[in-house]
Structures are given as structure tokens and as C-alpha cells.
Structure 1
Amino acid sequence: MDLQSTYHKPVMLQECLEGLQINPEGTYVDVTFGGGGHSRAILQQLTTGRLLVFDQDPDAAANAAEFKDDKRFTFIASNFRHLKRYLKLHKAEKVNGILADLGVSSHQINTPERGFSTRFDADLDMRMNPNSEKTAREVINTRSAAELQRILGMYGEVMNAKTAAEALSIARHKSSIETVNDLKSILMKYAPKHRENKYFAQVFQALRIEVNDELSVLEEFLTQAPEVLDVGGRLVVMSYHSLEDRLVKNFIQKGKFYGEVEKDFYGNEIKPLKSITRKPVEASQEEVTENPRARSAKLRVAEKV
């Protein structure tokens, strides 16, 4: 099986393309290249335009080899928190559209050794970038019970975060927690009956966000996006849980992540983006049936003013 076929189908592909309002001669950025599904569709609409893509995962870099002879295409092996720096490096300081699909790819989930899935026993890894140092194993075995409670409660919205954190803290004194099954065996007794899968999905989400610094990365990216967008340029962001969606929504509506929108001396709101989608766009029932991971996706579109 080739690498490309193990990646997920691009979620809400048509809606993303419509949100970007692609100009065939424009410059576009896909900051979450993954399997290249969205990027391929963008390239099909470009004539003399450019597409620059970001991904820190070496498997995604292997997928990008498919486009290596396309002069319109540039692959940037980096986290998209460095958006502005790399666009400047590649002489694309102003762009017409930016797409971000914040979901974990099916390929990452279905590769057991990456440790993203509750379905396989594997080392507790969960790194989007296999070259980074922090792993889920390190987080679980070295953080204080209070810190683990914060991670589970804030990032996973785990109801019994304190109990779970204390159980992990006690268990690791007997022996190091190394694998997915080690973690599950410790927490199984605290998982609500008949909702075990959802419970572990929340625990894994919390650890993954912490390991990859996902919310800070998203804030840094969103802050830079208006700076690199040309006037009238579009920002299209697809998020998969409420923590991400709240940050995206607040930044689009208020130009900041917390607090109320700032106003100038005349009472005009100071914010760099105008919301195009009054409420988030969700996948059709038909798409969700074909691609279950689209169920939780929320798409927001904004325009640089």
C-alpha cells in the first residue's frame, strides 16, 4: 500500500475551495499538507499561481515528492507556527489564501508505532514531529499530579481529571508507564461504563495537545495569518474540537483570543479579519457517512480587511 492511500480523505474539500475563492494566478498556503488532498485540489485550480505547503511530519514530506517537478509547488518541512518566517524566505510575503486543517491525519492514527491511537498497543509517543524531544511517555512519567490534572482537565475536558492524574502518579512509582496498554490498564477503572472509548479519546487528545503544544502553535499561526494575507485574502480553518474552534472564532471575531474586541477613538472595532461564515460550516450527512472523521469538523472562513 502506498503512503498516500493511508492518509485521510480531505474533509469538506469543496467547502474549503469555495472559502479560499481561488484566483488561478494567486499565491496560496496549505499549512497542514498531510496526504496532499487539499493541496492537490488547489493546484488543479492554479495556472501561474503558487502553492506553498507546510508539514513537520517526514511521512508528509514523502507524499510531497509527487509534486517535486511542479514549479508552482513549494514544500516547507516545518511547523506552521513559523509561517511568516518561511514565507519571507520563499519570497511569498503576501498571499491570497491560507488553509489549515487542524485534524490528526488517519495515517498518523493508523500507524501503531506513532502512539496516537487507543486501538493499538505501542510506545506512548504522540509526536507530530518524530524529531521533537517531548513524548507522551515523558509527560506521564515526569509531570506532577497537579500538572497532569491541568493537562487532562484543560485539554481533554476529562471529568475526573484529578482522580486520573493521581492514579497515574501513584502507578508510575511502582513502574514506568511506557505503552498505550499500560496507560489504559491504569485508567480503565475510572472510565465511565459504556463510554470507555470516548473517555480514552479525551485522555489521548489531552496528551497529544500537550506533547505537540497545539494550542500555542494555533495562536501563533493565527496571529501571523493577517500579516501575510493580502487585502481581500482568505483564511480557511477547519478545527475538530471546541478548544481549537474557540480560539479560531475569537480571533476572527475580535482580533484577539480573550476579552472583548478593542476599539479606536471613534468607536470602530480594531480587528484584521472579517468573518465570512456567520456560524461554522459542518460536513453534510452524506460526507460524514463516507468519512466519519468529518463529523466533528467545523470550518470557519475569514477575509483580510
Structure 2
Amino acid sequence: MTAQQYHIPVMLGPCIEGLAIDPNGIYVDLTFGGGGHSREILKQLDKGHLYGFDQDSDAEANIPDDDKFTFIQANFRDFRKYLRLYGVQQVDGILADLGISSHQIDEPTRGFSTRFEGDLDMRMSSGMDISAKEVLNTCEESKLHKIFGIYGEIKNAKTLAQAVVSERTMKPFSTTEGFKELLKRFAPRGKEYKYFAQVFQALRIEVNDEMGALEDMLKQTVDALKPEGRLVIMSYHSLEDRLVKNFLAKGKFQGDVEKDFYGNLIRPLEPVTRKALIASPEEIQQNNRARSAKLRIAKKL
């Protein structure tokens, strides 16, 4: 499988521009995946170095043959710890594309897609303990209500949670198709596929603790960046984007922005773009997965 088949990089040009690459700098791609963004960064490095992270062992097949690249199989929530193992304290730029890769979606056995029959797995890394089937078959109704409502942003989350608990007492959930049979009873007419996608997204976020991992990662970026270093983050749903937006604007996830005695904002990062960048109509036409992407860029003060 080629890297292009694995995943078409979204907003490649704006991401690379946002990093403002120094040919001799040190960079981190926290979501290596198919390596599309990493390869473009490597083209612009002379004596610099790039560290690529991915918790999915399938990504190893896309590692470029380049002395300027080091692959680290790990969750990006621990990236500073791993960089220190390589003697790296601070870097010139950090890139994170938070979207799930095309390869993961299109691989039926992974259970991410609503289009294929497969095991209800949804783990980004096979080393993780809990899969989607465990979530559906063991979580209390109140927790399922929260997962569907907050992570999936579906309106009948409570009703669906009740139905899941009732259904699993007769037959535990095991496959994507079996779960979809239940979902069909609750999906709005004409919007079935959107509903399936929202529920699957909610399960995936819970299984992989995506919001917790994102918070952990963002908090480490400030100390990991050199002064003037760039942080480039691309998100695909409102929950992620809200966290990223708040952190870049305020240096924290909740509460009001802090100001000094003179009324100046106190924050470790400064957004480079006032609004999130979005993909061009041409790119969306070529790659439908770019349609929901929001790119935010900041630099360390």
C-alpha cells in the first residue's frame, strides 16, 4: 500500500506554510499516518531533523528512507517524554493533523467505518485495552448517554443509550452491522448516514480518549516550542476545534483570558491567523475528507 493510498494529506500547502520551516530546524509531525505532511517537511530540511509520531503500527509501512527522519510509535500525549529520550528539549515547529486516516477508515477489520461489516474495535492502537464493543456492552446507561450526547452531538442520546442497554441484555454487540441495525431505529429519516457517522465518532473518541490525549498534547506544546516556534493544528469536529481555539487564544481550555496590569493579554502562544483556515473548494472536490477540516496556526511568544 502506498502512502498516497493510505491517506491523502489535507491542506498540505497551508500546513507547510504555517510551520515557516527553517532548513536547519527541528520539527515534529505528531500524526505521521501516511507520511504525506512529513515528506513535504523533509523536502525543505537541510541539516534539520523531523520526528514523526503515530500510535498505529500500520503507519510504519510509510516511513521514508531519510536520515533526517525518526519514527516514534507512541501516542502523541507523551511526545515530550519521547523527544527527551532523543536529547531534544525544544523544537522549531509542531504539526498535528487530528483526523483519522483514510487507511484506518477503509480497513474493515478496524471497525471505524459505517460502510463495512467488521468487528466493533475502533482502537487506534492494538495495544489499547478497551474496544468499542466493550464500551457498548459494559458502560452504564448514564455514561453512554454522555458519550453519545457530548462526543456525537446527537439529539436523542438518552433514548439511544436506553436502547443499547436493553438490547445488549438479549445479545451483546460485536459487529458494526449488528450495531447499525439498532441505530436504524433511531436515525432521522433521510439522515441515516450522518447519524451513523456521529455515533461511530462518539465511540471512537471514547475508546481512544481522544479529548484527553489532545489536552495532554496541547499543554506540552508551550514548553516544547522554542521562542517564535510554530504550532499547526488541524481538527475535524467542533469538540476538537473548540479545545484548540481556546488553548491558542488563552493558554488554557476554560475560563476568561488573563491580562496584565496594562491590559495586555497573558498567553504563551499567539494565533497567527485570526480565523481558522479551511480547504479550498477545489481540494474538497478532490478529497471529500477535507470538507470539515479547520486549520489553526500559532507561534510561541
Q: Does the alignment reach a TM-score above 0.5?
A: yes
Q: Which residue of 2 aligns with 1:104?
A: 100
Q: Which residue of 2 aligns with 1:124?
A: 120
Pick aligned residue for 1:229 from 220, 225, 237: 225
Listed one character per residue, the Cα deviations across residues 159-200 of structure 1 (whole Å, up to 9, x for unaligned) are: 100011100000000011111011111121110001000000
User: Partners in 2 of 1:76 and 1:274 — Cα distance?
Assistant: 28
Residue correspondence of structure 1 range 1-305 to structure 2 within 5 A = 2-64=1-63, 66-67=64-65, 70-305=66-301
Listed one character per residue, the Cα deviations across residues 116-175 of structure 1 (whole Å, up to 9, x for unaligned) are: 000011110000011111100000000011110000000000110001110000000001
Q: Is the 8 A contact 2:106 2:113 kept in 1?
A: yes
Amino acid at match of 2:207: V
Deviation at 1:266, TM superposition (A): 4.6
> Scaled by the length of structure 2, what TM-score is found?
0.98
SS in 1 for 2:119: coil
Q: Is the 8 A contact 1:167 1:187 kept in 2?
A: no
User: Partners in 2 of 1:267 and 1:146 — Cα distance?
Assistant: 43
User: Partners in 2 of 1:144 and 1:79 — Cα distance?
Assistant: 27
User: Partners in 2 of 1:265 and 1:175 — Cα distance?
Assistant: 62
User: Partners in 2 of 1:200 and 1:301 — Cα distance?
Assistant: 31
Deviation at 1:51, TM superposition (A): 0.2
User: Partners in 1 of 2:32 and 2:4 — Cα distance?
Assistant: 14
Q: Is the 8 A contact 2:4 2:36 kept in 1?
A: no
User: Partners in 2 of 1:135 and 1:171 — Cα distance?
Assistant: 18
When the two structures are aligned, how many residues end up with a matched partner?
Answer: 301
User: Partners in 1 of 2:299 and 2:179 — Cα distance?
Assistant: 44
Amino acid at match of 1:296: S
User: Partners in 1 of 2:105 and 2:230 — Cα distance?
Assistant: 30
Q: Is the 8 A contact 2:90 2:225 kept in 1?
A: yes
Gaps of 5+ in 2: none
Amino acid at match of 2:266: I
Q: Is the 8 A contact 2:6 2:101 kept in 1?
A: yes
User: Partners in 1 of 2:290 and 2:104 — Cα distance?
Assistant: 16
Amino acid at match of 1:121: E
Amino acid at match of 2:20: Q
Q: Is the 8 A contact 2:3 2:36 kept in 1?
A: no
SS in 1 for 2:207: helix
User: Partners in 2 of 1:182 and 1:147 — Cα distance?
Assistant: 21
Listed one character per residue, the Cα deviations across residues 12-49 of structure 1 (whole Å, up to 9, x for unaligned) are: 00000110000100000000000000000000000000
Gaps of 5+ in 1: none
User: Partners in 1 of 2:43 and 2:241 — Cα distance?
Assistant: 29
User: Partners in 2 of 1:186 and 1:25 — Cα distance?
Assistant: 55
CA RMSD, 1 decimal? 0.9
Instruction: Name the % identity.
Output: 58
User: Partners in 1 of 2:285 and 2:263 — Cα distance?
Assistant: 47
> Scaled by the length of structure 1, what TM-score is found?
0.97
Deviation at 1:3, TM superposition (A): 4.5
User: Partners in 2 of 1:103 and 1:294 — Cα distance?
Assistant: 10
User: Partners in 1 of 2:23 and 2:275 — Cα distance?
Assistant: 28
Amino acid at match of 1:60: A
SS in 2 for 1:52: strand
